[in-house]
């Protein structure tokens, strides 16, 4: 951390800052510049920078080191490639995760999976727990749903991706799912993240609606600190003043994350835009910008979907999209 | 819900919309205007408006009824006043909730409470569970902390306000706390809200960093739907592009909420600004704008605080603020 | 406009609204629904909806017709294709506009154009007037700069794109430039837009940093109302809470605009991200999402650029990007 | 400027940064810390920090000195108090600026001024040029309007505040107005600001809808650099995701500006909220937070206003507000 003093800061003020830093276990390196004195704080453990900011004569505090380490590309320059059976995420192959918003029935999953298989999908998604804004809406099938998606996935040789909502659900998810997803609202549920760090299954972390990229990577760090290094970041839109789309899908987060971190990044254009006719353009954009994969809502018959049908693709739309991506992916060194 | 058709929508398109609405259990009222046809959907239960938006010829969907009812001032015109022992929230008296960010020790709570009592504080706050960004930071005393705050509160005749983080903690909080607080990150933890609706203690709901006012009131509705009508809304800053303050405290939310809802609204200028020297001006502003109370971080010695000392007031600063508020409150029909 | 009354609105309140509307020259169509009364206002000229919102018993005002007409796809379903000599914008061919931020000298423009020609560029850009944040920075060559870019463009058979800042500059730009650009800060300079509507040269309108898509299209309408129908919209990033990029390039604005309007939309990834290494990924993303073209900063030697060198591509980077776009463009029915 | 190198930056990379800085006329001060090397750039004139950010091995660039100097409280610790005849702005007395959105007629200004005088108003406002979103709306009376407001102001011993839109209008405004206002959309019209710096009348600068506080103060610097030190900042709301209010009035900008700058800051709650019933609460909040004044829309009969009637106060509402402010102002060392 660097503490920049005001141009007219007095010796006493400078000393007071140095003393404070040292009282917290840091070394203080004072460097008097032509215009301003800068004090470096090195070696301590933890300090609230605002405590320093409030000392007289302090102009600005600058955090030098990023708050994450394990997730940082400086720490590990090579891309992380996560392997589960015959699927790799973060490598040359695009990770295409598809399926309905919610698991509704065995028949629905079966019909959807059968369609998806034709387009080569190896990762199927579906929600089992759906706490909804309205208490009258369908809330998901729970464990029953997980059993269904597991059975269908096994039938078609697919892997299961599903969202875990609470710590108490982790054991259940470890039994049925191959990849555990953390939703945007739980991105800073640190207790949940910590527990997932003790598991040995890959974790997808969706970006919070108002999360800065640095905070999002920090959430990955939380999981990694527990020992689980298989974390996948998922961009799904941020909240801005624009109301024409449900959220603003931040495509530029892809190259930004690629520079800061070695972790795979995928994109969810279904939630990012909220409307089916925006999903294909944004999927193509995400891949063209270098994303490692996509997570898409597809339903064998969206008009009958109990949840988010409006943002779900028809199977033939998904097939068309895959055709487009087969052309775009090689431009960024990927294949599908 | 109103469906506005495009000016050149065909008869067939209009009929298709009407059929779709009716298939979902609504009545369709078609009204052909000079320029556009508008279809009203009445009586059904639940429908995803985006499904209609995707039908050809549809220009716009307009939700007429607000999503909340119990929390709405239309439903209940008179202000809700919550009474707990000798304290009222939402009435003439300003609710002043003060205390440290975190419960650190009996001594800390005792010293702080003793100072606060001199300024007439009847509601003491303090966190027992503190999941933090860094796993190396102090994580709170847990139940031990709740015991301490309860003991100190009883000694000084105060009521206890503390944040509950998970469903599993509810019974413990019911034992020790008088008012349960839901943090900003949990504002849309619908399972937690639902459970709190079955308790009989008042609940404070903090506004999420990117929550629209309507969503925030909807969270109150969730609690109220369970039977617990004693909900207090708490504005604590939203995330905007401005970085000079940690968040942008949305003071205008006060008159907006007052118009939309009968529930009390209080303000947290400590988290809303993140810096001690902004707390007093924003506290005065909140009261002048008509807030029903404040929740403030005060520590008997902020420099020693384990958490958020930089945004905690010194007891004498709190006393000064109360003096100011005594003058401002009567302007808006309040007292302190 | 539709006025939705509160569920418990009285007859007198409904009548008062109807009277007010009629006093402003509108017809009032009252339609009593099962739950709420809705009043349609038809035929009048102009009314401030907030005046109605303030009348007792009014719940919500809903604007039905979009504020623009000439720019609307409802009004003109076919894409607008703008033709200038052998260049088309909005048709099958991607419009690639490239050149330095600022015109610095004949030599600089000559060297840059000579490089760009190798990549097939037909539209060269360069700024002549550069009001800068700091009064000590280079402020542009003015008319001298326009002469240079015209001369160089003619030598290489290119068209000139340059930003006009003030009404008084319009005649000068009409003499030297082929396409006039309106900067983001001038997006709502209605006087300037109105004057440009009386010219016969195409106008590029950059989206303001905090402009909603509807407001941006409305600015196009302003130009079109004057008679000039050749307007090109240019997405260049909006301001959000994220600070990792200078702005957040709103790629989803492309499909949104395509649905709402028939006008061509291009993207400026140089200003949208502010850093050279993000320009190529975001350019690919923009084309993959369906943009009609790109406007890019390219300098024959960015390290020597007097302005925005950090976001300017090297000529070989531009050439590489074109190679990538040649593969991506056909996916969206375009070519380059 | 400080350049922070990556932890594993090589000697060659460090040297390359130092060389680059020196090539731009700065001195490079290399300071090798325990973890990272930090290079200070001192003494040069102007450099685009992104050029350095792109050099290999560079982690982060940190701007130390604020971009403004004349407007900075570090430069001038005492509050600026602007005196015009018997009025002071920035001192003990609250500056109350009131009047209609637009000057409509002599009669309208006369009736409004006569009402305002009863409440002690000494500064009357009114717009003469009103470029509007719709070309069919009233566009203002122009110079005729300025003559009217001048005449009415002289009759009642008031000073005139009005918005200048273009450089060419400055001489006209100097003839009729006492304080020249720069609108939010012109906050970064640097040419206009520069010209206003050469005048000798106070200038009010409204904050842009997406302007950071630092950029806003920088706009003040632009005027001050020309010699005119009488600048007043005016907060009028920023654009956020919240749509319940037209804009989000950033009350916390008041204490922030007070710390960073010695210039007076006033608040415009009429535009900041857009609705009359929010104006009084936000006015009280602004004064309670320490604002130096308010600029308010008041019309002798808002229902007849040609512009923004919905956010204009009735004269009796203004009078009531003044009564409230008389109580609140002394709390922050002000009077009215």
In terms of pLDDT, which residue wins out, B108 or B65? B108
pLDDT in tens, C104-158: 999 999 999 999 999 999 999 999 998 766 655 667 899 999 999 999 999 999 9
**Tens of each residue's pLDDT in chain C, 336 residues:** 778 888 788 889 999 999 988 888 888 878 776 667 878 787 776 777 878 888 888 887 877 666 788 999 988 999 999 999 999 999 999 999 999 999 999 999 999 999 999 999 999 999 999 876 665 566 789 999 999 999 999 999 999 999 999 999 999 999 999 999 999 999 999 999 999 999 999 999 999 999 999 999 999 999 999 999 999 999 999 999 999 888 999 999 999 999 999 999 999 999 988 888 999 999 999 999 999 999 999 999 888 888 777 889 999 999 999 999 999 999 999 999
Q: How far is D139 from D127, CA to CA, in rounded Å?
A: 10
Largest CA-CA distance found in chain A, in angstroms, rounded: 76
The CA distance from B100 to B104, in Å, is: 9
Residues near D139 by beta carbon (within 8 Å), at least 6 away in sequence: D129, D130, D131, D132
What percentage of chain D's residues is helix, strand, coil (to nearest 5)?
40, 20, 40
Burial class (CB in 10 A: 0-12, 13-18, 19+), C263: buried
Q: Which residue has the tokens 């509601």?
A: B123
Do B292 and B325 touch, CB atoms closer than 8 A?
no
| Cα gap A276→A121, rounded to integer Å | 19
For residue B124, what is the enclosing H or E element? strand B123-125
Average pLDDT over residues A182-192: 94
DSSP three-state, residue B218: helix
Q: D208: alpha, beta or left, given left = phi > 0 and alpha = psi -120 to 50?
A: beta
Residues of C in contact with A235 (CB under 8 A): none
What's residue A281's pLDDT? 97
Instruction: Judge contact between D171 and D196, C-beta under 8 A.
Output: no
Mutate to test the interface with B, among D252, D320, D336 (most CBs of B within 10 A): D252
Contact D255 B288 (CB under 8 A): no
Q: What homologous superfamily does CATH list for C82-332? A: Aldolase class I (3.20.20.70)
In this structure, CATH architecture of domain D2-62? 2-Layer Sandwich (3.30)
Residue ranges per domain, chain D? Answer: 2-62, 82-332
Which chain A residues have a beta carbon less than 8 Å from that of B137?
46
Tell me the average pLDDT across A251-266: 97
D329/B contact by beta carbon, under 8 A? no
β-strand pairing of A27-32 with A37-42: antiparallel
Q: Please, are residues B308 and B328 in contact by the beta-carbon 8 Å criterion?
A: no
pLDDT at residue A179 greater than cutoff 70 = yes
Task: Say how many C-beta atoms besides its own lie within 10 A of residue C200's C-beta.
Answer: 8
Could you tell me which residue, A311 or D320, shows the higher pLDDT?
D320
Chain B contact set for D292 (CB, 8 A): none
SS3 of residue D315 by DSSP? helix
| Nearest in space to B230 (alpha carbons), one of B190, B203, B207, B257 | B203
- Read off the pLDDT of residues B114-150 as tens digits, 9 standing for 90 and up: 999 999 999 999 999 987 666 556 678 999 999 999 9
R_g (Cα) of chain B, nearest Å: 23
Alpha helix locations (H) across chain C?
Answer: 11-23, 49-53, 106-118, 143-156, 170-176, 190-196, 213-225, 253-260, 269-273, 276-288, 315-328
Q: What is the pLDDT of residues B285-316, one digit of tens each?
A: 999 999 999 999 999 988 888 777 788 999 99
Note whether B48 contacts A: Cβ–Cβ < 8 A: yes
The pLDDT of residue B25: 84
CB-facing half-sphere around the CA of D12: CA atoms within 13 A? 1
With an 8 Å Cβ cutoff, is C239 touching chain B? yes
pLDDT, position C62: 76
Mean pLDDT of chain D: 91
- In angstroms, rounded to a whole number, what is the distance separating the alpha carbons of residues D318 and D296? 9
Beta strands per DSSP E along D277-326: 293-297
Q: Which of D4, D56, D64, D60 is nearest to D32 (CA)?
A: D4
- Contact between A172 and A183 (Cβ < 8 Å): no
Model pLDDT, residue D65: 64
Segment 197-216 of chain C within 8 Å of chain B by CB: none
Q: Report the residue from A210, A249, A252 with minimal CB separation from C278.
A: A252
Residue D43 has pLDDT above 80, yes or no: no
What is the maximal distance between C-alpha atoms in chain B? 76
Min CA distance, D140 vs chain B (Å)?
A: 30
Q: Which of residues 8-27 of D touch A (CB under 8 A)?
A: 8, 27
**What is the predicted pLDDT for the residue at C323?**
97
* Closest CA relative to residue D270, chosen from D321, D213, D309, D304: D309
C-alpha–C-alpha distance, residues D297 and D312, integer Å = 5
D43 contacts A33? CB cut-off 8 A: no
Intra-chain end-to-end CA distance of chain D, in Å: 44
What is the predicted pLDDT for the residue at B233? 98
**CB-neighbour burial class of residue D77 (10 A; exposed 0-12, middle 13-18, buried 19+):** exposed
Higher pLDDT, A316 or D139: A316
B29 and C33 in contact by Cβ < 8 A?
Answer: yes
Per-chain mean pLDDT for chain A:
91
- Residue D289 and residue B252: Cα distance in Å, rounded? 13
What's the mean pLDDT in A185-189?
94
**Under an 8 A CB cutoff, do A282 and C243 touch?**
no
Q: What is the pLDDT of residues D181-220, one digit of tens each?
A: 999 999 999 999 999 999 999 999 999 999 999 999 999 9
- Asked if B214 lies within 8 A of D244 by C-beta distance, the reply is yes
CB contact under 8 A, D54 and C311: no
Using a CB-CB cut-off of 8 Å, the residues of chain A touching C326 are none
What sign has the CA pseudo-torsion B53, B56, B60, B63? negative
- Residues A180-199 have a mean pLDDT of 95
User: Rounded to an integer, what distance in angstroms lies between the CA atom of residue C31 and that of residue C17?
Assistant: 13
- Is 60 exceeded by the pLDDT of residue D57? yes
Has the ipTM of the complex gone over 0.95? no
**DSSP state, residue D329:** G
pLDDT at B208 over 60: yes
**What pLDDT does residue D136 have?**
57
Nearest CA in chain B to D290: B281
Please indicate if any CB of chain A lies within 8 Å of the CB of B134: yes
Which among D5, D42, D64, D240 is the top mutation candidate for probing chain A, defined by the most A β-carbons within 10 Å of its own β-carbon? D64
**Cβ pair B27, B39 in contact under 8 A:** no
Looking at the partner chain, which of D33, D60, D241 has a beta carbon nearest the beta carbon of A241?
Answer: D241
- Chains touching chain C through at least 3 C-beta pairs below 8 angstroms are A, B, D
Interchain proximity C46–D276, CB inside 8 Å? no
Query: Across all residues in chain B, what is the average pLDDT?
Result: 91
**pLDDT score at C134:** 60
Non-local CB neighbours of B25 within 8 Å, separated by 6+ positions: B43, B44, B45
CA B159 to centroid of chain Cα atoms? 19
The set of residues, in sequence order, having a beta carbon less than 8 Å from that of A206 and lying 6+ positions away, is A181, A182, A183, A184, A187, A234, A236, A268
Question: Residue C180: what pLDDT?
Answer: 98
Q: What is the DSSP letter of B309?
A: G
- The CA dihedral of D300, D301, D302, D304, to the nearest 10 degrees, is -130
- pLDDT at site B137: 62
C265-267 and C293-297 as β-strands: parallel, antiparallel, unpaired?
A: parallel
- Using a CB-CB cut-off of 8 Å, the residues of chain C touching D133 are 67, 190, 218
Name the neighbours of D, counting chains with at least 3 Cβ pairs within 8 A. A, B, C
Least confident of A291-295, B189-193, C213-217, D2-6: D2-6
- Among the residue ranges B320-334, C302-316, D270-284, the one predicted with the least confidence is C302-316
Q: Which of residues 247-286 of A touch C (CB under 8 A)?
A: 248-256, 259, 272-273, 277-278, 281-282, 284-286
Q: Tell me the sheet residues that pair with A207.
A: none
| Cross-strand partners of D227 | none
C107's CB contacts (< 8 A; 6+ apart) are: none
- Residue B327's pLDDT is what? 98
Q: How far is A239 from chain D (nearest CA, A)?
A: 7
Given a cut of 60, whether residue B278 has pLDDT beyond it is yes
Concatenate the DSSP letters of all residues of C122-143 into one string. Answer: -EEE-BS----SSTTS----TH
Task: Name the residue in chain D with its Cα closest to that of C224.
Answer: D135
By the 10 Å C-beta count (0-12 exposed, 13-18 middle, 19+ buried), C233 is classed as buried
Model pLDDT for residues B219-250, shown as the tens digit of each residue = 999 999 999 999 999 999 999 999 989 899 99
Pairing of strands C27-32, C2-5: unpaired
**Which residues of chain C does B2 touch, with a Cβ-Cβ cutoff of 8 Å?**
2, 38, 62
C16 vs C57: CA distance, rounded Å: 10
Q: CB distance C165–D311 less than 8 Å?
A: no
More confident residue, B176 or A138: B176
Option in A34, A40, A59 nearest D42 (CB): A34
Q: Do A35 and D65 touch (CB under 8 A)?
A: yes
Q: What three-state secondary structure class fits B147?
A: helix
- Among A48, A168, A194, beta carbon nearest to B309: A48
Closest to B291 measured CA to CA, from B280, B302, B279, B283? B283
Cβ-based neighbours of D171, under 8 Å, separated by 6 or more: none
B167 interface with D at CB cutoff 8 Å:
no
Predicted local confidence at residue B78, as pLDDT: 96
pLDDT of residue D135: 57
Residue of B nearest to C6 (CA): B74
The pLDDT tens digits for A114-145 are 999 999 999 999 999 987 666 556 678 999 99
Please report residues of D whose CB lies closer than 8 A to that of B243.
Answer: 212
As separate numbers, helices (DSSP H) first and strands (DSSP E) second, chain B gives 11, 14
């Amino acid at each position: 951390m660097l503490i920049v003093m005001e141009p007219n800061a007095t010796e006493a003020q400078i000393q007071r800052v140095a003393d404070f830093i040292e009282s917290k276990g840091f070394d203080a390196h004072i460097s008097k510049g032509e215009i301003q004195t800068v004090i470096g704080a090195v070696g301590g453990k933890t300090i609230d920078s605002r405590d320093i900011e409030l000392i007289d004569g302090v102009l600005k505090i600058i955090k030098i080191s990023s708050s994450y380490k394990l997730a940082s590309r400086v720490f590990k320059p090579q891309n992380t490639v996560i392997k589960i059976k015959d699927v790799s995420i973060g490598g040359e192959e695009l990770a295409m995760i598809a399926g309905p918003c919610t698991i509704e029935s065995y028949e629905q999953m079966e019909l959807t999976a059968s369609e998806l298989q034709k387009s080569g999908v190896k990762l199927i998604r579906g929600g089992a727990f759906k706490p909804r804004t309205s208490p009258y809406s369908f809330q998901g099938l729970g464990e029953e749903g997980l059993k269904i998606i597991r059975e269908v996935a096994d039938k078609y040789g697919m892997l299961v991706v599903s969202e875990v909502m609470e710590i108490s659900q982790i054991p259940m998810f470890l039994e049925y799912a191959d990849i555990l997803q953390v939703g945007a609202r739980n991105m800073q549920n640190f207790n949940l993240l910590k527990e997932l760090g003790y598991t040995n299954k890959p974790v997808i972390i969706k970006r919070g609606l108002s999360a800065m990229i640095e905070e999002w990577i920090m959430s990955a760090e939380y999981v990694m600190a527990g020992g689980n290094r298989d974390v996948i970041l998922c961009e799904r839109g941020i909240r801005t003043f624009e109301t024409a789309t449900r959220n603003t899908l931040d495509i530029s987060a892809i190259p930004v994350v690629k520079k800061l971190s070695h972790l795979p990044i995928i994109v969810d254009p279904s939630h990012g835009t909220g409307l089916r006719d925006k999903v294909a353009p944004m999927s193509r954009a995400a891949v063209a910008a270098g994303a490692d994969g996509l997570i898409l809502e597809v339903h064998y018959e969206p008009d009958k979907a109990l949840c988010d049908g409006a943002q779900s693709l028809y199977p033939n739309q998904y097939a068309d999209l895959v055709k487009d991506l087969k052309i775009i992916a090689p431009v960024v060194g990927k294949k599908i």
